[in-house]
Amino acid sequence: MVYKEHYIELYINGHKMDLESQKSLNLRFQNVLYDPEKISSSQAEYSFEFELPSTPNNDKIFDYANNLSRLNKFHQRWNAEVYADGSVIFEGSLTLNGFKKGMYQCNLVSVKVYSLEDIFGESLLSDIPWFIPFDGAGTSGNSIDYYNAQLSPDAVFPLVSYGVFQKSPQTSDDIGNKYTSKFDIDKYNRWYVESFYPSLKMLETMKKAFEYKGYNVAGDAFNDVFLKDIYMSCNLADGQVPVYNLGNPKFGQVSLSATLSTSGKSSYQQELNYPYFKVFGNVETEGSYLESKTEYNYESVFMYDILGGGTVSVENPSYMYQPNEKVIVIPADGFYKIELSASTTLNSTGNLTVMHHIYDPLYRTMSEESINLPVGFTENTPIEIALIRNYEDNYELIKGKRNKNYVNGNPNDETYTVNYRTYSNVNDWLTCFPHEDAYNSTLPTKQNDLTLYNTQGRRRNDGSVSEHVGGRRSGAVTRGGSVGGHEPYTGGGGGTVSGDGFDSDSGRYWTPAKLGYIYNDGEIMAYDQAVSKAFICGFSSFYGGVASVMKNGYSWSKSEADVNYGFYPEIGYQSMRREAGTGNIVFEETQYNYNTYINTPISRVNSSNTGMTGFISCMVYLNKDDVLELMAVHRGFETTGGTNVLYNTTTNINLKITAASPRSYNELKKDRYTYYSPSEFDYDLRLSNFLNKEKKISEWVQNVIDAYNLELVQNGKNVYINTKKAFVKNLPYAVDIDDRTNSANAEASRINYPAEMAVKYKIDTDEWGFERSVVEAAGGNESILNDPNWKASGDSGYTIIKLNDDSYETSKSEKSLQFSYTWYDNFNWYEVDSTFEEDSGTTVTLRIPVISKYTYMIPDYDYDESMKHDGYGLSQRFWFKPAEANAYVWTRTYPPERVQIYEPKNLWTNYRDMYMNLSYKTTEISLLAKYFNVTPYLASNYVEVEVYLSPEEYKSIKNGAMVHFDSDLYIPVSISGFDPTGNNPTEIKMIKKV
């Protein structure tokens, strides 16, 4: 029978379409509601093909798709709505399949979401612009504790074991370090803000992803009491290190002052690779043979740690300054502005009695002798103040361009006499070697020293080997001048110069035409990375003083491949060359080493024999985890008996380091980044920095949809994320069709259930949690891990449901996820106060997630090695919002800050009548029964019946209402051929509720 004819209206993109007639429309719907044979099924609604006439109205709405030359007319989707008697019964899309005889062939489809690939393209999770105000630990309104205490924040900061926690050794000796248990949280732990990576809310991450692409997001999933409380582990790509909000001065700036008096302070003696004050000569050996010998009177330094040994005052809270180690740690790769000022005073007076290598050119002997050396910053007892990084016995002198040697090794002697002739004992010259090429040498070595020697070994009248030294003053004492006046470059002596440049009278070579590059007086010296990678910037008191910064660009040395980047004011070096014919030294201004740092204050150094002051401003590229120290560097002296000889200084410094920009040198240079430019690091915390930078958004969203059986519905720029409940939608009524059907006309058929169903986590059986679950299942018997089938008893977080015992039925309905199950373990917490001493002896057992390979959590496995590995690259997993524990820790920051511990949970409960476990097990209340089609209707079967349905009844059924038929309740599975006009019957496929 015809229940009633209904008036149909079709709207495309909000415009009413012309229909040829109500009866000829022939609009029929197919609707797949559920598939009990599959663990996860999607509701799909679509129409059979129907026709619309070509009219001026329809042609305009379809963008004149009736025009044969129109392109892409069959690749578009139009938003479509179907109304029956004024009530909407369908919302979805219309597609055109063809056009012939003045009619459009059309289909309606309820799949209203473009493919995720179409929406997100190649965008990655880390591309999502998602920020929150964040001040780290402490008591501010945007702290870790603040977010953890909120009802439903975008991110929480729980305690999770991504491998062993960082610790200091309990004891150390020659054998190695000894640590407390990996499962003890005690006074040896080293906590930082980075110990509490943010855990992002799952649904909010999906929402932010769609909003990033311009969509509005809603849906019933956001009201689901369980789903809206799920947070995620931090999953990172290999080598990915999240960057915090370094634009916030607490994270990206340190400003401190320090005072160090070296009197009574310990220092570290380090040998120099590039020693100074060379003593060179031919020494007679047995048999009257001559042997060349080289010694140095400045071959070591004493390194005084200014921050470690001095009094330090930090201006504001700073995570860059580590108060326990007294170092500065760089938090991320990028450019950092540095301002360093120093004032140092020489406290020692008089003379130091020290050992010097002394050469006697008359008797050709080299000996160690005790001499009295007057103290003075200019030469004998200099000081260098240096900001260095990652120090590994690799400091080398700044020194500057002015150089001096004493032929006999004794700086107290102005002259020496050989064969009744008197010579100047002093050689002085200009070169920036080893920081620049020394007269065309290719790489700095100890053999290729501050002064190059003649490889032919031709001897002077005094018996020493002639040297090939640019601009060196080596003539009689009546000639020459002073280092400061540059008079050494007048050349030396008369006589005849042979073709090879050898002066037969003076016994010296002329220097090469090219003599290298030197900085201008008062300018910064570029410190070459081939000399030392440790140096960043600093001052030297040598010969009037010089400020220096790590060189921008490549090293001059062909042996050094690393490139540095930095901004500092440098007008360009002078080149030195010897003029042909006259032998005069010519200085020419060049662009070599030119650099600029726009608007920076002028760097300056003033040095005398008793004091030095200096200021330097630069911006250099540093790397994450660079460890910075401030050093006062003294010359190393010993007595002839090998006892160290020290001199005392007092140094006051002010240092400010600010994170400036993560961009490249060329970008900053092009955009004219200046001293006054603000930090380009984020001021707020970018949460997407903690999402996998290699994971495509489309893949991750699909993985979440699979894990929770979600449904995406799109309407224009609106996206709805909905749950797909299993079978019963809990509607309070059923559609009664008993009054218009006869059970005798119904057909019954078998439900072909698969042999088994399961939703499976991605399980790494090498993880600590899985292997511990095997041991726990064996009652703590560790030997179970030696059983060849040990993996079968591990907790994988899911149950395989056996549905069909028929031997011929082997099919499976499985959903394999890309996420892991979350395993938990117990940790013993001991109360520790802000001075990092155990307090009351109170202990608490914490149960928190462990995300680590098994090996690194084994108690006897080396702790130092374990700390090098983390679990951030292991599969992502989920937990419910962390709960506050009765425990806390203190960070090793300046100042120490308290962090309340929050424990993630695998069980959600209101402690009354609602429970949910994040698993797919049948042995507990889990996601499986809540969100998936795991049906208990194994004794039931399909029933198919034809019936006339009204539009309202159709809507009720597709929205979850059951059907009352043959005096029983049935669950509808599919609707086939529904005619909204009411002219044709509809076939309903159902299963009986039992």
Question: Residue 859 — pLDDT band, cuts 50, 70, 90?
Answer: very high
Q: Is the peptide bond before 895 cis (omega within 30 degrees of 0)?
A: yes
Q: What are phi and psi of 682, to 5 degrees?
A: -65, 140
Q: What is the Cα–Cα distance from 378 to 179, expressed in whole angstroms?
A: 49
Sign of CA dihedral 58, 63, 68, 72: negative
Q: What is the Cα–Cα distance from 406 to 89, expressed in whole angstroms?
A: 102
Q: Taking each helix axis from N to C terminus, what angle separates 202-212 and 697-708, rounded to the nearest 10 degrees?
A: 140
Q: Is residue 422 part of a domain?
A: yes
Please say if the pLDDT value at position 508 is more than 80.
no
Residues linked to residue 302 through DSSP beta bridges, in sequence order = 269, 634
Please say if the pLDDT value at position 935 is more than 80.
no
- Residue 773 sits in which domain range? 756-820
Please tell me which residue, 171 or 729, carries the higher pLDDT value.
Answer: 171
Q: What is the Cα–Cα distance from 554 to 143, expressed in whole angstroms?
A: 42
Total number of residues shown for the chain: 994
Q: Is residue 694 part of a domain?
A: no
Half-sphere exposure of 250 (CA within 13 A, CB side): 22
| Same domain membership, residue 805 and residue 657 | no
Element (H, E) at 207: helix 202-212
What is the maximum span of the chain, computed from C-alpha positions, in angstroms? 140
Please say if the pLDDT value at position 308 is more than 90.
yes
Please say if the pLDDT value at position 460 is more than 50.
no
224-228, 450-454, 831-835: least confident range: 450-454
Q: What percent of the chain has pLDDT over 70?
A: 89
Q: Is residue 216 part of a domain?
A: no
The arithmetic mean of pLDDT across residues 758-764, rounded, is 95
Question: Residue 753 — pLDDT band, cuts 50, 70, 90?
Answer: confident
The predicted structure's pLDDT at residue 289: 78
Please say if the pLDDT value at position 469 is more than 60.
no
Distances 966 to 954, 961, 969, 970, 990 between C-alpha atoms, Å: 19, 16, 8, 9, 12
Please say if the pLDDT value at position 42 is more than 80.
no
User: What residues contact residue 520 under an 8 Å CB cut-off, 6+ apart?
Assistant: 571, 573, 574, 589
Please tell me which residue, 483 or 190, carries the higher pLDDT value.
Answer: 190
The arithmetic mean of pLDDT across residues 564-570, rounded, is 98
55-64, 70-79, 287-296, 652-661: least confident range: 70-79
Domain boundary among the residues 805, 820, 835 is at 820
Pick from 195, 153, 235, 230: nearest CA to 878: 230
Please say if the pLDDT value at position 452 is more than 50.
no
| Same domain membership, residue 768 and residue 655 | no
The predicted structure's pLDDT at residue 804: 63
Q: What is the Cα–Cα distance from 127 to 700, expressed in whole angstroms?
A: 13
Structure confidence by residue, pLDDT tens digits, 226-276: 999 999 999 999 999 999 999 999 999 999 999 999 999 999 999 999 999
Distances 911 to 473, 908, 915, 916 between C-alpha atoms, Å: 91, 9, 8, 11
The arithmetic mean of pLDDT across residues 353-362, rounded, is 94
Question: Residue 1 — pLDDT band, cuts 50, 70, 90?
Answer: very low
Please tell me which residue, 293 or 646, carries the higher pLDDT value.
Answer: 646
Q: Is residue 391 part of a domain?
A: yes
| Same domain membership, residue 394 and residue 520 | yes
Structure confidence by residue, pLDDT tens digits, 571-596: 999 998 888 888 788 999 999 999 99
Please tell me which residue, 336 or 427, carries the higher pLDDT value.
Answer: 336
| Same domain membership, residue 760 and residue 665 | no
The predicted structure's pLDDT at residue 40: 66
* CATH number of the CATH domain containing 16: 2.30.110
Please say if the pLDDT value at position 779 is more than 70.
yes
126-135, 289-298, 853-862: least confident range: 289-298
Structure tokens at 477: 């004492």
The predicted structure's pLDDT at residue 610: 97
| Same domain membership, residue 425 and residue 562 | yes
Please say if the pLDDT value at position 443 is more than 80.
no
Residues linked to residue 76 through DSSP beta bridges, in sequence order = none
Please tell me which residue, 524 or 434, carries the higher pLDDT value.
Answer: 524
The predicted structure's pLDDT at residue 306: 98
How high is the mean pLDDT of the chain? Answer: 88
Q: Is residue 704 part of a domain?
A: no
Structure confidence by residue, pLDDT tens digits, 486-506: 223 223 333 333 333 333 333
The arithmetic mean of pLDDT across residues 624-633, rounded, is 98
Please say if the pLDDT value at position 2 is more than 70.
no
Q: Is residue 228 part of a domain?
A: no
Domain count, the chain: 3
Q: Is residue 682 part of a domain?
A: no
| Same domain membership, residue 778 and residue 636 | no
DSSP state of 165: P
Pick from 391, 381, 387: nearest CA to 348: 381
116-120, 236-240, 749-753, range with greatest mean pLDDT: 236-240
User: What residues contact residue 773 under an 8 Å CB cut-off, 6+ apart?
Assistant: 794, 795, 823
Q: What are phi and psi of 766, to 5 degrees?
A: -90, 5
Say whether 487 sits in a helix, a strand or coil.
helix
CA angle 812, 944, 805 (to 5 degrees): 30
Q: What is the Cα–Cα distance from 151 to 153, expressed in whole angstroms?
A: 6
Please tell me which residue, 37 or 561, carries the higher pLDDT value.
Answer: 561
Q: What is the Cα–Cα distance from 278 to 453, expressed in whole angstroms?
A: 12
Please say if the pLDDT value at position 468 is more than 50.
no
Element (H, E) at 585: strand 585-589
Please say if the pLDDT value at position 598 is more than 70.
yes
Q: Is residue 344 part of a domain?
A: yes
Question: Residue 715 — pLDDT band, cuts 50, 70, 90?
Answer: confident
Domain boundary among the residues 820, 839, 872 is at 820
Q: The whole model's pTM is what?
A: 0.83
Domain boundary among the residues 820, 839, 871 is at 820
Question: Residue 949 — pLDDT band, cuts 50, 70, 90?
Answer: very high
User: What residues contact residue 830 under an 8 Å CB cut-off, 6+ apart?
Assistant: 184, 185, 186, 187, 838, 841, 842, 843
Strands 812-816 and 756-760: parallel
The predicted structure's pLDDT at residue 740: 87
DSSP string of 41-76, one letter each residue: ---EEEE--EEEE--HHHHHHTTSTTSTT-SSTTS-
Question: Residue 805 — pLDDT band, cuts 50, 70, 90?
Answer: low
Question: Residue 280 — pLDDT band, cuts 50, 70, 90?
Answer: confident
Question: Residue 507 — pLDDT band, cuts 50, 70, 90?
Answer: very low
The predicted structure's pLDDT at residue 512: 52
Pick from 631, 632, 574, 568: nearest CA to 603: 568
Pick from 874, 857, 858: nearest CA to 822: 874
Please tell me which residue, 706 or 475, carries the higher pLDDT value.
Answer: 706
124-133, 283-292, 921-930: least confident range: 283-292
The arithmetic mean of pLDDT across residues 557-568, rounded, is 91
